[in-house]
Amino acid sequence: MSFRSVIEPGKERPCTLLICGKGGVGKTTVAAALSLYLSKQGYKVATISLDPARHLGSVYGVRLSEELKEIERNLYAAEIDVEKVIRKHLESIVNTIKSTYRYLTALNLDRYIDVLRYSPGVEEEAMMEYMASFMNREEFDVIIFDTPPTGLTMRILLLPTIYLTWLDRLIDIRSKIVGYREAIERLRGRRVELRDSILEELLRLRERITSVRSWLSNPESTRLIFVVTPELLPIDEAVRCREVLKSVGIEVMGVVVNKVVPENLLSKVPLFKQQRECLNIVRKYFQNIPIVEVPLLERDIRGFEMLSEFVKYLLS
Ligand SMILES: Nc1ncnc2c1ncn2[C@@H]1O[C@H](COP(=O)(O)OP(=O)(O)OP(=O)(O)O)[C@@H](O)[C@H]1O
Ligand SMILES: [Mg+2]
């Protein structure tokens, strides 16, 4: 399998590329370069930066906002405002709670949004929902996510599996409660099948999260690409993440080794000497998937012209 086949969509639309890796390795550059290449191939592409650092616009050399805008023919881009995404998500949760637990409407739930904002798991849940909102955007051929730092990305990708474990248990408990209530009604001589809005909401949620998990673990719809530099820490992180993600059915599909120092310079700088060892580790651990190497270039990559040059290394 070639790296090109990892990035080009198959039959399923949209095809999502997740560009992951440690800070500073070149995720945003790779995401921007691939988006430009694919849009030039005639695919309609949306690139979204999920990184709070909001760096994507400066790599393209254009101003971006939270709304997708066409910055080049077939190429749409946006940088999310993480705080707004979280707030919107919490508002939708509060609305669901209000309509599910009607007796809570007396309580001013909106007041709690500020507190909920800092609850554990809220950021990853909001981000997962945001990403999943693109899963049916069939007007795009490719969606590219420039992901936030690895720790958060991992928690987002693991969330559907964790969520489903909880939901199964909660559905079990709630079904029992509804069963007991029905039994009591029968003892009173009434034959009823109770409609329970909480159980319905839990079942609806399970269906949705199951589809998010299938979307993430189906290589036709989602492809995870790791970017590393030829240094021990980024590689170590990629190897560990691969193992963890594998356990929830998400496979790493390709690896970009970025900022590879040319051979003739290796002996000149002591730090570069470990590059060969690092490249061997990458080749060993990712031997069954495409690996591409991009050299350390003379300067930062900015603007469409430099991105077009950069992409040649990815596809050579
Ligand atoms: N092959 C390369 N040669 C030289 N400079 C590069 C190369 N690839 C990326 N860069 C530069 O390295 C810097 C970091 O790249 P980039 O912003 O893409 O990394 P990142 O992984 O997205 O970082 P962050 O985790 O901070 O979002 C940028 O200034 C970029 O222009
Ligand atoms: Mg970045």
Q: What is the pLDDT of residue 104?
A: 58
For residue 24, the CA-to-ligand 2 centroid distance in Å is: 7
Residue 171's H or E segment, with its range, is: helix 150-187
**Beta partners for 18?**
145, 224
φ and ψ at 52, to 5 degrees?
Answer: -60, -20
Q: How confident is the model at residue 22 (pLDDT cuts 50, 70, 90)?
A: very high
pLDDT digits (tens, 9 = 90+) for 106-151: 566 667 777 778 888 899 999 999 999 999 999 999 999 999 989 8
**Beta partners for 69?**
77
Q: Among 46-55, 252-261, 277-286, name the one with the lowest average pLDDT.
A: 46-55
Q: What is the pLDDT of residue 106?
A: 56
φ and ψ at 219, to 5 degrees?
Answer: -65, -15
Sheet containing strand 252-260, edge to edge, reads: 69-72, 75-79, 45-49, 142-146, 15-20, 222-228, 252-260, 291-295
The mean pLDDT of 227-237, rounded to a whole number, is: 96
CATH number of 3-315: 3.40.50.300
How, if at all, do strands 75-79 and 69-72 pair?
antiparallel
Atom 19 of ligand 1, nearest CA residue: 26
Ligand nearest to the CA of 61: 1
Pocket of ligand 1 (CB under 6 A): 21, 23-29, 51, 53, 55, 258-259, 294, 296-297, 300-301
**Beta partners for 196?**
none
**Beta partners for 207?**
none
Average pLDDT, the chain: 92
pLDDT digits (tens, 9 = 90+) for 233-255: 999 999 999 999 999 999 999 99
Burial of 174 (0-12, 13-18, 19+ CB in 10 A): middle
For residue 146, the CA-to-ligand 2 centroid distance in Å is: 7
